[in-house]
Every structure is written in structure tokens, then in C-alpha cells.
Structure 1
Amino acid sequence: MMVWTNILVPVLGTASDAQPLSVAKALAAPFDATISVVFASPSASGLFNWAYEGGFGVTDVAVAAIQEETERGRARCGELLTALDYPKTSFETVTADDWLGLRSATRLADVVVWERSAAGGHGFFASAFQQILLDERRPAFIADRPPDVGGTIAVAWDGGREASRALRRSVPLLKKADRVVLLTVPHAMARPCDGARAVLYLDDQGVRASTDVVHTHGDASPAILDAVRKMDANILVAGAFGHPRLQRFIFGGTTQYLLESLVRPALFLSH
């Protein structure tokens, strides 16, 4: 039986970390999973090398200030975890150099929770998001608020490799849903696919699912999100970034469209 046992959240030690931590709690609680909190700090040596190459001087005082701010960030993480009031957590500190430490930490995580800005290519974690989703192939979860895991979940389905991986990896989540609907957009599909095989697969996993055909002759992404809104789905499961890297995905739509749309279901993305 597939279950989620580890939900990972990269944090910076700022007040904004409270939001992804609350999302992680909503995901972890139904599974009694551990929330792994990974605090990413800039290394003093990395900053020194950057400044030296740029012709800037970095004094011992500046390095000490960086280390002090790192300690303050770590302390703020502790305060946030206390406020989160969740019984199963772990805490780890990594440096931001090439994201090697964070990448390693995510390899045994079932899902990584990200802020929407990072998933949209902005901010400190933007590069880490792409590396971990694409290279480490760890599923990403992005939400503006804690999701209702027991509500309706929509799955963007075209029978492709990325959509299939997203479906398989989301099975534990789908098992918690009250309703699961596979959305297909025939006009935007590269191959015939009615979702019947996916429905049978989910039935074997103990998940009852239905299909909904989305009719549109324009961009498929707005039509999918409109269908998600009409069915009042809490979460959209989708395959992300087909080959080659960073190309358009989900029946011709883009990650950016999903992230910036005013219709904002929580997103479970898998590559």
C-alpha cells in the first residue's frame, strides 16, 4: 500500500516560511507523515568567492555578520516549528552552494512543498525548484493556503509520460479524496486518449475516478482551469516539463500560466 511518509519544506528562516509550513502540515497530517524542514543558508565562503571575483572586499566582520544572520534564521525556524504544533518534524541545515545539500535531502521525500514565487522562477529557491523537480524528479506541491485533502482532486490527463508519473505518484493523495476526475482535452492531445486505462489503473489502486472531456479550440490551459473551477476542485495533479526541459506542458499550456492564473487550485506537479 502506497503512503506518504515524508513531506519536505525548504525554508529561509523568515516569516514567509509559515505559509508553506502550514501547507505541509495539511498534507502530512492525513498520513501521519514527518515534515522535514530544510533550512538553506548562504555560505560565508561562497559569498567570499563571489565578492573576490567581483573585485569586492569581504572582511572577517562581514563573514561574522553572515554567520550571525544564519544563526538568527535557524532560531526563527525553531520558533516557526513550535508555532506549527505538529508532532513529527525533523530539521536540517544546508548551504545554498549549488543546492547539493538540498537536492540530497529531497531524495527520500515523497513531496516537496514550495512557495509559488519559487515555482514561478522568482526568488532565492527558483533554481532549486527546477533542479529538484527536473533532475531529482521529486514531486512539487504549490498552494496559496492549506489544501483540503479530502475534497475533489482533478487530474490533467493526456496519457503521456509526465502525466502518467504524476498520476502514479499522487495515488496516496487521490486515495484521500472524496472525488477524483480525470480531465482530457481531445483537441490538444498528440495521441488518442480517453482516460479509460487510467481509470482502470486507479480502480486497481482502490481509487474510484471519473473522466470529464474538456472541449475547446483555443489554449487548453484556461479551459482546464475553468473545468477545475466549475467542479470546485481543491487540487490539480499535472505532469510538468516534458522533454526537452522547460518546454510547454499540459496540452499546450505552461507552468507560468498555471501559477499566475487567478484560478488557483493547489498544484501537484511531477516530471
Structure 2
Amino acid sequence: MAFRKITCFVTGGARDAAALGSALLLATPAKGNVAALYLRADPRDVMPMVGEGLSGALIQDLMKSLEQENKSHAAKARDHLDKALAAAGGVYCERAPGSDRVSGSFTEAAGVTEDVMAAAARLSDVTVFPSVAKEDRTAVLVGLEAALLEGGRPLLVASEQTPAVLGRRVAIAWNGRTQSARALALAMPMLTGADAVHVLGVDTLRTDAEEAAPVVDYLAWHNVPAQYHKLSGTGSVAQQLQDACAEVGADLLIMGGYGHSRLRELILGGVTRAMLNQTTLPLLLAH
């Protein structure tokens, strides 16, 4: 299986470029399609928060301003797609079965963020998001979590800069949990074509690093040579993973997302949250 149908969430911000570039790198081997999805902010959603005590004329002005902002961001997002396609040698195409080369399309959608993103993810081989490090826009974070937790498909979180290659030297963070198993299975299209695969295990109070060793044998049955690394450095699990990825030259880290509840990770922190806050390493996540 190859990644033929990819959705890329765009916002009109500067990070769109790296997300679209990463999505096109994933789609190119199979001449797939990247559907850039821009989610329009509905002015009516903010009315309950700011509407009380405002005159009808002022509310109309506010809605008009938000609509103009929507148009501006959508135009920027479309421009980012056009530039990414040109750089990748791709073409604009909206209909299956696509073109004789990698292609892209642009769609604007309106609705509840969670519903729109989860629905899009369910009918995508993989959904790509811009980096969310230090992201404070609720719609972006909510959309990412909905795609990850409700989409049933893998999610790629791009780095801040467009990588030269993606999925050539891959690292797998394995903790023996269901989320790791799903991430491994859903990432198999990338693993079978990788030049090098590294399996990372970390000892914690709840996980045994040695549980990652059998992953190498599992991958061998799929003709994927891999190396096992037991991490015994200092620092948090997230920091050890980042250090190991840098040491082996990984251009992608595959891992399960939100092994603990989102609320627990929000309050106490967690590996998923910490990895989402770094900006240099693309992540392929599954829940």
C-alpha cells in the first residue's frame, strides 16, 4: 500500500509551506494527491462570546471583518499550495484517479472543527498538520486531536522547515502499547521503502526498553531490516527520543499518540505533548 490520498490541514500561516511540502513528499512515490483543507472560521461561533451588549450594527461589522479575514487566510493557503506544487513538479487535480504525477487540490470547509477533521482523516491514507509547537490557536489543536483520536488513520505532524527527504531514515518509538502497535502497522508503507529503520526502547516506571527488541524480528518478516537501540540517557523520555533520532540521523519518528488521556497529558505533561512541542523532527502518530 502507498499513500495515494492525503489531506493536509492548512491555515494560511507560514507553517503551511513545510506541511504541504512534507505531504507532497509522501504522495510523490505513488503519484498521489494532496488535498489542502482550509477550515473557515464561522463568525457565528464567536457571537455568543462577544455579542452580549453589542449593537446590531457592531455585530454586523464584526462578522464582516471575520469574513474578510477568512478570505485573506484562504487566499494565502491556496498560494502556499500552488508554490508547493510548483516546487514538487506537481499539478492541480481534484478528481480521481489523478494525474501521471503528484497532484494537489484545495478545499474550503465550514463546520465543527472536530467533525470536519475527523471525517476528512477517515477517508485519507494519512492526514498532515503543520507544526503545532507553541501553537495557541484552539482550532488547530482541536483539529489535530480529532484527526488523531477519531480519524482511525495515521497523522503526520510536520517540522517547521520543509525537509529535503522524508521517511528515508526512520525511527520507531516502541513502548509495547496499543497505540505503538497501530502506529507501526499504519506506517508500514513507509517502512518497506526506508533506507534505514531504528527501533527505540526507553526504560520508564511503566515500560521496559527490552520490549522493543522483538519489533526488529517482526519487521524482518516484512523484509524491513532494522536496528534496536536501548536508550539509557538522562532527561525526559521525549528528550531521549529526540537525542537518539539526531544520533542516527532519523528524518521521521513513528510513535503512538496519547497513550495517557489528553487531560492527564495536558495537566501533568506527557511524551506526546512534549514531542509536539519540538520543531525539527516530523512525527507520524497513531492512536
* Match runs of 1:111-260 below 5 Å: 111-117=126-132, 122-123=136-137, 124-142=139-157, 143-147=159-163, 148-190=165-207, 193-216=210-233, 219-247=236-264, 253-260=270-277
* Match runs of 1:15-26 below 5 Å: 15-26=14-25
Partner SS state of residue 116, structure 1: coil
Displacement of 1:217: 6.7
AA aligned to 1:82 is D
Partner SS state of residue 192, structure 2: helix
Partner SS state of residue 113, structure 1: strand
Q: Separation in 1 of the partners of 2:118 and 2:182?
A: 20
Partner SS state of residue 229, structure 1: helix
**Normalised TM-score (structure 2):** 0.80
Q: Separation in 2 of the partners of 1:178 and 1:215?
A: 25
Q: In the alignment, is the contact (CA less than 8 A) between 1:153 and 1:177 conserved in 2?
A: yes
AA aligned to 1:6 is K
* Match runs of 1:14-163 below 5 Å: 14-52=13-51, 54-57=52-55, 59=57, 60-85=60-85, 86-87=90-91, 88-95=103-110, 97-117=112-132, 122-123=136-137, 124-142=139-157, 143-147=159-163, 148-163=165-180
Displacement of 1:182: 0.5
Displacement of 1:127: 1.6
233-242 or 131-140, which moves further after superposition?
Answer: 131-140
Q: Separation in 1 of the partners of 2:209 and 2:282?
A: 28
Q: Separation in 2 of the partners of 1:218 and 1:76?
A: 40
Q: Separation in 2 of the partners of 1:26 and 1:167?
A: 20
Check 1:73–1:170 CA distance in 2 against 1; reply closer, same or farther (3 A cut). same
Q: Deviations over 1:67-93 (max 9, x none)?
A: 343333333333222222232112221
Displacement of 1:246: 4.6
> Unaligned regions of 5+ residues in structure 1, if any?
none
Displacement of 1:163: 0.9
Check 1:109–1:55 CA distance in 2 against 1; reply closer, same or farther (3 A cut). farther
* Count of matched residue pairs: 265
Q: Separation in 2 of the partners of 1:246 and 1:236?
A: 24
Check 1:81–1:187 CA distance in 2 against 1; reply closer, same or farther (3 A cut). closer
Q: In the alignment, is the contact (CA less than 8 A) between 2:15 and 2:160 conserved in 1?
A: no
Q: Separation in 1 of the partners of 2:152 and 2:116?
A: 16
Q: Separation in 2 of the partners of 1:181 and 1:25?
A: 24
Counting aligned pairs with the same residue, the percent is: 26
> Unaligned regions of 5+ residues in structure 2, if any?
92-102
Check 1:56–1:234 CA distance in 2 against 1; reply closer, same or farther (3 A cut). same
Q: Deviations over 1:148-200 (max 9, x none)?
A: 22532110112211111111111111122110011112455535744344223
Check 1:55–1:204 CA distance in 2 against 1; reply closer, same or farther (3 A cut). farther
Check 1:247–1:27 CA distance in 2 against 1; reply closer, same or farther (3 A cut). farther
AA aligned to 2:36 is V
Q: In the alignment, is the contact (CA less than 8 A) between 2:171 and 2:200 conserved in 1?
A: yes
Q: Separation in 2 of the partners of 1:198 and 1:8?
A: 29
Displacement of 1:138: 3.5
Check 1:224–1:14 CA distance in 2 against 1; reply closer, same or farther (3 A cut). closer
Q: In the alignment, is the contact (CA less than 8 A) between 2:237 and 2:271 conserved in 1?
A: no
Q: In the alignment, is the contact (CA less than 8 A) between 2:202 and 2:209 conserved in 1?
A: no
Displacement of 1:216: 4.2
Partner SS state of residue 92, structure 1: strand
Q: Separation in 2 of the partners of 1:127 and 1:61?
A: 27
Q: Separation in 1 of the partners of 2:192 and 2:24?
A: 18
Partner SS state of residue 259, structure 2: coil
Q: Deviations over 1:76-112 (max 9, x none)?
A: 3332222222321122211253432232222111222
Partner SS state of residue 128, structure 2: strand
Structure 1 ranges of 4+ moved more than 4 A: none
